[in-house]
């Protein structure tokens, strides 16, 4: 099958008849639901851009499995060039959507599993890698979206998976059969869960003895029997139900998270990629997280571009663009944003070939990238709010603007720079609100903190990768630590006269 069109993608998601709940009700026509539709538009954009010749180099790649052109979101990276193009593609999509576009988690999952299945087979004589390659080809041939599902609810953080009073706090195998396994549990905060054709489940922590049933990785169709989605709320989400675009800020695009529940789901063996090999769950977690930490050096930068552009436009529309402190704040925002991009590119250019033949990012630099992501978007958002002014959170509603009596008053007092129509000034301020406090803030702010692992997770990886001993050796060599000391060579310096 060729690459899907955006329309074919929408229809294929509708055809899955997913079990989605929102506000306590089952949502049947989810592809047209006003709260969900913007997130579907985001993934549709990954199909749309892939069809445009000007983006072909970033959006498409040549499959190492079939030699055919595939959407880069289904590609296994074959070089550092692939790795850097991935980041550039993500920046482009962030720019086009001003939102989390969700398709990256599946891409990062297949790239992590590619090397881990190979290494597991080498060490344990298992058959995971070949079946995983077949699965990747299935994703590529059908141009599918896969949700990479890692984060378990985790219950009591002080207890290992097998020690939890409720064994379902981590997703686990409840039955091993001749034809496959049966799994139970949940995955939390699942980005793009209700937009995906497939789910790729991975463990969420390194497992130890006793956790064998929890060291499981597999894929299943998103509509497999027993899979249910409970849609996550976002700040200001019900504005999407009000029927006006103005107050949303970015009515076209948005992110999506859900709690994904597995209630005794059957998985055939040809879709199982890890089952009981506890020593490989840590590597899978680290590699998936590493790839997703690289991803943020692209996607958040693209959204940052939109926010910087919105702040600069707000300054124009306020009549304040010439003030030197405004110019300086825009410079600072740009500096921070490009620093993040530099990190995303650096860990790509320093990527390494794995024994399986695929390419992986430099782990230390990917973790440094994400650590900066936990900070800089907050500062960029702070500066954007500073430039935009308080009106972005005190502005009357679209209904007031449309009202026959109140509307002219709103219009009179919301005038800014003389040539700017009030409606456009309101649109831009609502966009800043959307990105910093509204639905898109989930992706730009809190996800920057906790997505792909909370800050402490990166600090642990940075500590592990930093090779402090090598640095100590450098310092000791220069200082001469450990060399014999010849006291006899000491000369008393000639006294310097006071005048």
3-state secondary structure of 448: helix
Give catalytic status of residue 236 as yes or no: no
Give catalytic status of residue 299 as yes or no: yes
- 374 touches which of Fe ion, ligand SF4, none (CB within 5 to 8 A by kind)? none
Q: Select from 104, 146, 202, 227 the one that contacts ligand SF4 (CB under 6 A).
A: 104
| Minimum CB distance to ligand SF4, residue 296 (Å) | 6
Give catalytic status of residue 225 as yes or no: no
Q: Which of 42, 100, 194, 347 is catalytic?
A: 100
Closest CA to 208 of 155, 166, 161: 161
CA distance 342 to 364: 14
- Binding to Fe ion in span 277-336, by CB under 5 A: none
Give me the residue whose beta carbon is nearest to Fe ion.
451
Give catalytic status of residue 231 as yes or no: no
| Minimum CB distance to Fe ion, residue 106 (Å) | 12
- 295 touches which of Fe ion, ligand SF4, none (CB within 5 to 8 A by kind)? ligand SF4
Where does residue 447 fall: left (phi above 0), alpha (psi -120 to 50 degrees), or beta otherwise? alpha
The full DSSP string for 363-399 is HHHHHHHHHHHTTHHHHHHHHHHHHH-THHHHPPPHH
193 binds ligand SF4 (CB under 6 A): no
Which DSSP letter does residue 23 get? T
Other beta carbons within 10 Å of 187:
24
Q: Which residues are paired to 60 by β-bridges?
A: 71
153 binds Fe ion (CB under 5 A): no
Task: Quote the tokens at residue 366.
Answer: 């990917």
The CA-based diameter of the chain, rounded to the nearest angstrom, is 97
| Minimum CB distance to Fe ion, residue 30 (Å) | 21
| Minimum CB distance to Fe ion, residue 449 (Å) | 11
Q: Select from 145, 181, 299, 428 the one that contacts ligand SF4 (CB under 6 A).
A: 299
Q: Which of 191, 204, 374, 436 is catalytic?
A: 191
Give catalytic status of residue 296 as yes or no: yes
Where does residue 153 fall: left (phi above 0), alpha (psi -120 to 50 degrees), or beta otherwise? alpha
- 348 touches which of ligand SF4, Fe ion, none (CB within 5 to 8 A by kind)? none
Q: Is 55 exposed, middle or buried (0-12, 13-18, 19+ CB in 10 A)?
A: middle
Which DSSP letter does residue 225 get? T
User: Do 351 and 359 contact (CB within 8 A), yes or no?
Assistant: yes
Q: Which of 296, 347, 385, 444 is catalytic?
A: 296
Give catalytic status of residue 191 as yes or no: yes
3-state secondary structure of 133: helix
Residues that bind ligand SF4 (rule: CB under 6 A) add up to a total of 13
69-71 and 146-149: which strand pairing? unpaired
CA distance 93 to 87: 10
| Options 79-87, 290-298, 339-347, 374-382: segment touching ligand SF4 (CB under 6 A) | 290-298
User: Do 278 and 469 contact (CB within 8 A), yes or no?
Assistant: no
| Minimum CB distance to Fe ion, residue 295 (Å) | 7
451 binds ligand SF4 (CB under 6 A): yes
3-state secondary structure of 38: helix
| Minimum CB distance to Fe ion, residue 145 (Å) | 14
Give catalytic status of residue 369 as yes or no: no
27 binds ligand SF4 (CB under 6 A): no
> Whose structure tokens read 């692939």?
82
Residues that bind Fe ion (rule: CB under 5 A) add up to a total of 1
Q: Select from 71, 120, 191, 439 the one that contacts ligand SF4 (CB under 6 A).
A: 191
Q: Which of 42, 299, 347, 369 is catalytic?
A: 299
CA distance 8 to 2: 11
CA distance 51 to 370: 30
Q: Select from 185, 290, 344, 451 the one that contacts Fe ion (CB under 5 A).
A: 451
Give catalytic status of residue 104 as yes or no: yes
Quick note: the x/- pattern for ligand SF4 over 388-427, rule CB under 6 A, is ----------------------------------------
71 binds ligand SF4 (CB under 6 A): no
Catalytic site residues? 100, 104, 191, 257, 292, 296, 299, 447
Q: Using CB under 5 A as the criterion, which residues of the chain lie in contact with Fe ion when the complex forms?
A: 451
List contacts with ligand SF4 (CB under 6 A). 100-102, 104-105, 191, 292, 295-296, 299, 443, 447, 451
């Amino acid at each position: 099958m060729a690459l899907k069109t955006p329309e074919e993608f929408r229809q294929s998601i509708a055809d899955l008849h997913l079990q989605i709940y929102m506000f306590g009700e089952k949502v049947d026509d989810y592809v047209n639901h006003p709260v969900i539709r913007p997130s579907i538009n985001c993934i549709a954009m990954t199909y749309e851009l892939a069809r445009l010749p000007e983006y072909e180099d970033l959006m498409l790649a040549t499959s190492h499995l079939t030699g055919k052109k595939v959407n880069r979101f289904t590609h296994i990276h074959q070089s550092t060039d692939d790795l850097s193009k991935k980041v550039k593609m993500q920046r482009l999509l962030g720019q086009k959507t001003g939102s989390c576009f969700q398709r990256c988690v599946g891409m990062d999952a297949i790239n992590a599993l590619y090397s881990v299945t190979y290494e597991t087979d080498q060490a344990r004589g298992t058959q995971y890698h070949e079946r995983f390659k077949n699965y990747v080809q299935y994703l590529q041939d059908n141009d599918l979206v896969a949700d990479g599902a890692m984060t378990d609810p985790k219950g009591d953080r002080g207890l290992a998976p097998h020690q939890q009073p409720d064994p379902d706090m981590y997703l686990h195998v409840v039955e091993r059969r001749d034809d496959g396994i049966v799994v139970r549990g949940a995955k939390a905060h699942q980005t793009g869960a209700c937009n995906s054709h497939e789910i790729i489940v991975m463990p969420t922590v390194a497992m130890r003895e006793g956790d064998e049933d929890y060291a499981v990785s597999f894929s299943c169709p998103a509509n497999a029997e027993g899979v249910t989605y409970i849609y996550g709320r976002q700040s200001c989400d019900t504005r999407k139900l009000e029927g006006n675009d103005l107050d949303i800020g970015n009515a076209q695009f948005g992110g999506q998270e859900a709690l994904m529940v597995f209630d005794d789901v059957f998985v055939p063996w040809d879709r199982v990629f890890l089952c009981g090999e506890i020593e490989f769950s840590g590597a899978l977690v680290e590699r998936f997280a590493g790839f997703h930490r690289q991803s943020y050096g692209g996607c958040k930068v693209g959204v940052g571009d939109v926010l910087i552009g919105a702040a600069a436009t707000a300054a124009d529309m306020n009549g304040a663009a010439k003030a030197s402190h405004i110019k300086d704040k825009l410079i600072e925002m740009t500096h921070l944003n490009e620093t993040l991009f530099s990190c995303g590119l650096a860990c790509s250019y320093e990527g390494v070939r794995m024994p399986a033949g695929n390419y992986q990012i430099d782990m230390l630099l990917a973790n440094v990238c994400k650590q900066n992501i936990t900070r800089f978007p907050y500062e960029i958002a702070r500066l954007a709010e500073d430039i935009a002014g308080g009106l972005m959170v005190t502005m009357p509603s679209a209904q007031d603007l449309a009202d026959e009596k109140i509307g002219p008053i709103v219009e009179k007092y919301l005038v800014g720079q003389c040539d700017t129509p009030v409606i456009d000034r309101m649109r831009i301020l609502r966009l800043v609100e959307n990105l910093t406090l509204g639905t898109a803030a989930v992706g730009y702010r809190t996800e920057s903190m906790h997505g792909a692992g909370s800050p402490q997770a990166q600090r642990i990886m940075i500590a592990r990768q930093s090779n402090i001993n090598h640095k100590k050796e450098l310092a000791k060599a220069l200082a001469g630590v450990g060399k014999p000391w010849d006291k006899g060579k000491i000369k008393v310096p000639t006294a310097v006269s006071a005048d």
